[in-house]
Structure 1
Amino acid sequence: MFILEANNLKKWFGNRLLFSIDKLQVRHGEKIGIAGRNGTGKTTLLRMLGHEEIVDEGSLTVKGTVSWIKQEEQNQSFLSGGEETKRRITQALSQQPSLLLADEPTSHLDTQGVQWLEKELIHYPGTLLIVSHDRALLNTICTRILEIDGEKIHIYNGNYQSYLEQKELATNRIQFEYQQVEKEKKRLLDAARRKKLQATQMGKIPTRMSTSEARLYKAGKGTQMAKVEKQVKAIESRIEKLGEAEKSMEQSPIPLDLHYHHPLESKVALRLENVSKTIGGRSLFQGLTCSIPTGAKVAVIGKNGAGKSTLLDMVVNQEVGVKLSPQAKIGYFHQKSKGLKPNHTILENVSLQSRYTESMIRTILARLSFPGDIIWQRISSLSGGEKQRVQLAKIFLSDANFLVLDEPTNFLDISTREELEKVLISHPGTILFSSHDRQLLSAVATFLIIIEDGVATCFDGTYEEYLEKKKANSLSGPNPDQMLLQYELTEVISRLSLSLKEEEKEALEKRYHQILESLKKCR
């Protein structure tokens, strides 16, 4: 049974066609991800399906009840952003709708929150249409992907990874067809040139001929020339029918020129020696000790509020226990980054402190969704998300050899996130970054710092290796010693928040550090 049907549906934005759907049929229980760059109309499509946006042309039928998980909703409660998002998700699911529309439901959720959402959506029995920049989520739950591309809607069976593979095959086919058409056009153009040259030579009368012989020669060759000219026109007609072949937009890896990069000479880029942080009487993490090798891509992971951004700030400010390599030059990106010149263009801002060529700068800007003439826009005309992408480009193309990036994927659509991955992987420097994007973590991270339950630990390996180890530990059953230590840690933290005598406080702090060391060994 089809719960949703659309035929010859069109949506206009002023005089511009936003998208059109020839035919769309969605069965009960399907889970469909909606893909497309920012501005292509993904949210508008959801609003149309939820009868909150008018249909300009065509027909749309939706059967059953509809519930929404909207992207932006004013939070007037005392809840945090993540808690508010969870509340709205729970409320929408509790209505047991026939059709659930979800617009960026992972906003404000940390990794654990996204994993909770995954389980909820997997067990949701109804039909789901979801817009999300979380590729891992789309891989886990989706049975089809609906892509908005070039004003058209394309449907792909399977999850997001399957969609990417099908797109790659289509791209390769287009590339092959383009090459074949261009090869045939070249062959025909060469043939046309030869025929034209032949016709020109036919028109020349040999000097040894008499006037009467020349007249007879010209009459005979005229017929042959007409035949050749007819052949030329036929060739030109075939070339015209070939038309302009579509060339695929396949992008090659980004080779950041090492000539402009000054690598660290030391083998260790950063040492953290018993790094701790307490804010407002609350301990975020204690006793973080590890060495980060030069060139590592280090991901800092943990729940919202665990202290990830705080740790990045501590590294940038080189607080107590932070030992940076003397040659380290930091490029720092955070959500409140400033420093762009509002009256300068995008290209001018990025070029100011970059030694890279304009060609390379344009390449990086294009990868971060600033193609073509967009680079001539002034910073003052850009949105907040666009300004942050310019900041990222500026950092990547600076002479910084130690990048510190706090949630760099915020405000990026899926395509731009994928390009960001390539930039991060290609960058020759050491990178310390925080992110809840599991796909980014899997693709980029070679070293992890985990902040969990007030304990910060290091893991020398990839995100996938970390998850495998964590899974193996959970399968082996709970560690009784670890459970007792965690219980005692909670008690100690609770007692430390009270007004105590100095002697008693010192004893508790000593025990606190002992527990942390024991927990590290357990983990």
Structure 2
Amino acid sequence: MRIMHALNIKYTIGDRTLLNMDQFSIHSGDRIGMIGKNGEGKSLLLEYLLGQTDDEPTVEWYGSVGYFKQLNTDIDDKEWHHLSGGEITMSKLDEIFQQNNDLLLLDEPTNNLDWQHIEELEKRLNNFKGAVLIVSHDRTLLDQVCSRIWELENGKITSYKGNFSDFEQAKLRKVEQQYAEHDKYVKEKKRLIERMRQKEQQAQGMRKPPARMSSSEWQLHKNKAAGKQKKVERVSKVIEDRIERLEKVDKPFEWDDIKMDYTLATPIHKKQVLTAKKIQKSVNGHLLFQADSLKLRTGSKTALIGANGSGKTTLIKQLLTLGDNIELTKQANIGLFEQELAHLPEDKTILQYVQENSPLPQHVVRIILGRLRFFEEDVHKRIGVLSGGERVKTALARLLTGDYNVLVLDEPTNHLDLEAISALEKLIQDYPGTVLFVSHDRRFVNETADHLWILENHTITSFNGNLTAWQTSLEQPREVDEETYDLMALENKLTEIISRLSLPDQKDDVQKLEHEYQDTLNKIQKLRKQ
């Protein structure tokens, strides 16, 4: 059953056409994820359908609709002023789900949410009986919830059946098909050029008399040869026309496949970049977090994960300010990316700003900018005209190309579109230095991190492995080594001795029990120190 049908979707700003589609529909049971680069008009399309733009849309609705508008963090409404971004998002989503609409239009509903709340939203969407159209950069959510992907590009929608992973596979098949068609084009062009060259040589040979032919014989043969020559030249011209009519197929250009000499100017030779012992932080008398020991291994890609408000950003700031219990190797040169971007020089170009303090040659800087989707003349844009996502990419490019060997990134994927997030993943994988980062993007963490710091229940624990490995470990029964078994056995024995000492039997030798108590206690303390 159709819930919404739109016709003649057109929207222009100045000389730029942002939306240009003949028609599309949404049906009952649809689970659609809409994706596209920043600035393509995804939010605009939702507003257009709902009649919230200057243009009057031609839209037929066959049911009720609920709309979640992308959250603006600059909230002036007193009703929401005391709440965090995550709390506001959850409250607004609660209101929408309670309305029991036939269709939900959700614009970036996971912004400001931590993993627990994103997973809660996934469950609610999967249990929702109506249709859903979600604009999102969260690839895991698009995989868990969606059965169709709409890609908005150049004002038009291309529909792909399946979830986001299916979409990626379909795009990959398109690239592979283009490679095959390019190879076919190159081979056919080469074959025709070779055939034309042979015909040209044949025609040239007809202009010269054979070696054993006399001049008088050549004069008699000349007219006959001229006719044959013209025929060969006509064939050659036909081949030339065929070459010109060949439909050119360009080879797919993949910046991510470009290899480069990506080395650190100042490598770190110590095993650990940073070590911290007995650290803790309290706010207003309440414990925020504590940890007996933290180690940031040289060359590792470590993700700090935890719920909103658990203290991830606070922990990073505490580690960077150092202190008596925190040791940072003197070889470390830290590049910091914060959620709130520092003021960037408005008048400089992207290339000028990124390259000015970089030890890398310009061609490597250009490659890294290209991999972040700053192509050709894009690098000469002034920073003052850049979008929020482009500013984030510029700041990240400066860090990735700078004279740093340790990068600390606090929510680097905020404001980035899916293409840019994927590009950043590959750059961090290739980065030869150490990276410590905070992110709520589950797939980004899984693709880049080889080590985790988990901030949970006011405690920080470490895990050597990626997100999938950690989640798998939580589902498996915990393995207990022999040392742990010994400790458990001694603790059980100690409890039994204390019980017997509290209410000794007539047969008990109290002095012997006290000696046994002390001996058991010493063993426990010795094991705990190991």
Common fold: TM-score over 0.5: yes
Residue 268 in 1 paired to residue 253 in 2? no
% identical equivalent positions: 38
Residue equivalent to 2:487: none
Residue equivalent to 1:249: 253
Residue equivalent to 1:89: 93
Report deviation, 1:337: 3.9
SS at match of 1:404: strand
- 1:174-224 residue CA offsets vs partner (Å, 9 max, x unmatched): 111111111111221222222223223323457997876555433222211
Larger Rg, first or second structure (1 or 2): 2
Report deviation, 1:95: 1.5
Residue 114 in 1 paired to residue 113 in 2? no
Report deviation, 1:377: 1.2
Residue identity in the other structure for 1:463: L
Pairing of 1:31-430 with structure 2 (within 5 A):
31-53=31-53, 60-73=59-72, 75=75, 76=77, 77=80, 78-204=82-208, 215-253=219-257, 255=259, 257-338=261-342, 340-430=344-434
Change (3 A) 1:51 1:95: same
Change (3 A) 1:266 1:236: same
SS at match of 1:277: strand
- 1:217-253 residue CA offsets vs partner (Å, 9 max, x unmatched): 3322221122112212221222223222143233444
- 1:126-154 residue CA offsets vs partner (Å, 9 max, x unmatched): 11111101000000000000112344421
SS at match of 2:302: strand
* Partners of 2:265 and 2:359 within 8 A in 1: no
Q: Matched residues in 2 for 1:224 and 1:17: separation?
A: 57
- 1:409-440 residue CA offsets vs partner (Å, 9 max, x unmatched): 01100111011110111111111000000001
Instruction: Report which stretch shifted further, 219-228 or 27-36.
Output: 219-228
* Partners of 2:303 and 2:449 within 8 A in 1: yes
- 1:435-474 residue CA offsets vs partner (Å, 9 max, x unmatched): 0000011111111112123222222222112222334479
Change (3 A) 1:162 1:71: same
Pairing of 1:20-31 with structure 2 (within 5 A):
20-21=20-21, 24-31=24-31
* Partners of 1:7 and 1:22 within 8 A in 2: yes
* Partners of 2:264 and 2:432 within 8 A in 1: no
Q: Matched residues in 2 for 1:426 and 1:204: separation?
A: 62
Residue identity in the other structure for 2:412: P
Number of positions where the alignment pairs a residue of Structure 1 with one of Structure 2: 474
Residue identity in the other structure for 2:71: E
Change (3 A) 1:244 1:256: closer
Report deviation, 1:341: 3.5
Residue identity in the other structure for 1:203: R
Residue identity in the other structure for 1:354: S
Change (3 A) 1:250 1:150: farther
* Partners of 2:264 and 2:404 within 8 A in 1: no
SS at match of 1:409: coil
- 1:316-344 residue CA offsets vs partner (Å, 9 max, x unmatched): 22234221222111111112343743322
SS at match of 1:450: strand
Q: Matched residues in 1 for 2:440 and 2:87: separation?
A: 16
Residue identity in the other structure for 1:62: W
Change (3 A) 1:197 1:20: farther
Q: Matched residues in 1 for 2:192 and 2:54: separation?
A: 50
Report deviation, 1:259: 4.2
Q: Matched residues in 1 for 2:221 and 2:56: separation?
A: 69
**Structure 1 length normalisation: TM-score?**
0.84
Change (3 A) 1:140 1:259: closer
Q: Matched residues in 1 for 2:275 and 2:442: separation?
A: 26
* Partners of 1:35 and 1:146 within 8 A in 2: yes
* Partners of 2:6 and 2:49 within 8 A in 1: no
Residue identity in the other structure for 1:30: D
Q: Matched residues in 2 for 1:10 and 1:341: separation?
A: 36
User: Mind listing any 5+ residue stretches in structure 1 that lack a counterpart?
Assistant: 475-520
Instruction: Report which stretch shifted further, 80-89 or 45-54.
Output: 45-54
CA RMSD of aligned residues (A): 2.5
Q: Which of 415, 431, 441 is equivalent to 2:435?
A: 431
Residue equivalent to 1:490: none
Change (3 A) 1:102 1:186: same
**Structure 2 length normalisation: TM-score?**
0.83
Q: Matched residues in 2 for 1:411 and 1:377: separation?
A: 19
Q: Matched residues in 2 for 1:61 and 1:233: separation?
A: 57
Change (3 A) 1:466 1:31: same
Q: Matched residues in 2 for 1:203 and 1:263: separation?
A: 69
* Partners of 1:12 and 1:56 within 8 A in 2: no
Instruction: Report which stretch shifted further, 422-431 or 221-230.
Output: 221-230
Q: Matched residues in 2 for 1:4 and 1:197: separation?
A: 66
Q: Matched residues in 2 for 1:55 and 1:234: separation?
A: 53
Change (3 A) 1:288 1:388: farther
* Partners of 2:146 and 2:164 within 8 A in 1: yes
Q: Matched residues in 2 for 1:254 and 1:432: separation?
A: 25
